[in-house]
Amino acid sequence: MEIEAASVAQHNKPEDCWITVHGKVYDVTKYLQDHPGGADVLAEAAGTDATHEFDNAGHSEDAWDIMQPYLVGNLQGHQEKKQKPRPRPIMSQPPSPKPTPSTKGQSLTTLATLGLFSLSITAIYYLSRHRRPFLPKSLVSWLYSKPENQGGFGFIKVLFISSSIFAVGNAILAHRLAKLIWGTKSFTSYPAHIKAPQRIRKNTLLQHGLLDPSQYRPLPLQTKTLVAPNVYKLTFALPTADTVLGLPIGQHVAIKADVGGESVSRSYTPVSNNSDRGVLELVVKVYPDGKLTSGFLGKLRVGEGVLFRGPKGAMRYRRGLCREIGMVAGGTGITPMFQIIRAVCEDDRDLTRISLVYANRREEDILLREELDRFARRYPDNLTVYYMLDQPPADWAYGRGYVTKELMREKLPAPSADSRIMLCGPPGMVQASKSSLVALGFQQPGAMAKMTDQIFLF
């Protein structure tokens, strides 16, 4: 069934919520409360085309299966945008360049020089042939002397003398002209060349590379290391040791695998970046009920391949995004935060201050703790870290329990035009933190995450 855009726009309330994604119209009214990103995300998109926001959110391919029961029909007149082929350039003879004032001046100078040179030859030859009294007799005799069995060399000798006189005259003239232009300092005292400025190198972290957002590429597992209970660091090999991954800071990749006859896709943020040539590194927690983690990644062996696609996501961190960043992370939600932390700390020119609150159940669940503590120790002006645990040990020096509004007021930057808050973790923690931050004065984020949001949800 085809549905007009005007009809979709009428269903724009939480109790009557339709959205359009890639030309398909869905009635998601009954799905609002089950949406992992929160009901308000879908409610704000009600009655509109949410294709761009849907793609940027990094949904897995399972999302399409979840949405299928809510399909109402097709959007009338919808056509997927196709990239126009670039016209091939027609090879033709380049037009002759038009003479400019500078080239005209050079041509006139050349003609004048040749003319003076010709006149000097003619004058000396004429005077020598007619035995003018102001020419030395010895010179005239030498010019027209005839060696035995050889013809006269008068003209050639005249040419030689004229060339020498002309060269000396040009040197004297150039020297005097230089004095008039540069004063008492001779032009020969200046350096022979000027040092060219160094080329500005392209930021490695922003380079394009292997990843392709439209198709999956297989990469073999290189190493697999247990870094915490049920948490593995997986290192995948790129085609060569110099290959650039092509992942902007803050974005993620999609992994697809066949698990029990079902195609399953999930999104992960690598802890490596473009400066780590030749590898892609993930930190993955294996959940007992996780289709991809338990059914595939947890059983993966060295040498076996995994399909990757990307980059995906709305965040593309660049130096100068803001002056202060507050981060609240839970569990494996630390991975996108770690990418940004690493980019800031490893950039000498990035003066951004980051305050991280990282929540876990137990101390052994803290991921990348060694790396986080090292960055905080080496770059105290850039990073402060505060850990939260539900079940802390007796000698625990950080926070206990949940991330509260009071804790965020104390540990995170205050609302301002030059501050941002980033959230990533379990849905319950993210929703509670977002509500508390709005109560503290931060702007409510939109239905889909944008880099301009004061509260950015990964």
The residues carrying an active-site annotation are 252, 268-269, 424
Task: Give the single-character DSSP code of 401.
Answer: S
Neighbours of 175 (CB within 10 A): 12
> Please, are residues 44 and 5 in contact by the beta-carbon 8 Å criterion?
no
Q: Is residue 405 part of an annotated ligand binding site?
A: no
- Cβ atoms 330, 360 nearer than 8 A: yes
3-state secondary structure of 374: helix
DSSP class per residue in 295-346: HTGGG--TT-EEEEEEEESS----TTS-SEEEEEEEGGGHHHHHHHHHHHHT
275 three-class SS: coil
Tally of CA atoms within 13 A in the half-sphere of 265 that contains its CB: 19
**C-beta of residue 349 within 8 angstroms of C-beta of residue 320:** no
Token pair listed for 445: 């984020």
378 is known to lie in a ligand binding site: no
Q: At residue 188, what are phi and psi to the nearest 5 degrees?
A: -75, -15
Amino acid identity, position 215:
Q
User: Pairing mode, if any, of strands 419-424 and 455-457?
Assistant: parallel
Helix (H) or strand (E) holding 126: helix 101-129
Q: How many CB atoms lie within 10 A of CB 183?
A: 8
Cα(384)–Cα(371) distance, rounded to whole angstroms?
Answer: 13
Tokens of 44: 């704000």
The secondary structure element, H or E, covering residue 370 is helix 369-378
Residue 287 counted as an annotated binding residue: no
Task: Report the C-alpha gap between 74 and 78 in whole angstroms.
Answer: 8
Give CA–CA dist 71/18, Å, rounded.
Answer: 10
Q: Is 126 annotated as a binding residue?
A: no
Q: Is 224 among the annotated ligand-binding positions? A: no
Residue 268 annotated as lining a ligand binding site: yes
Considering only CA atoms, which of 356, 210, 215, 354 is closest in space to residue 270? 210
Known binding-site residue numbers: 266, 268, 283, 285, 291, 335
Q: Please give the annotated binding residues for FAD, written as ranges.
A: 266, 268, 283, 285, 291, 335
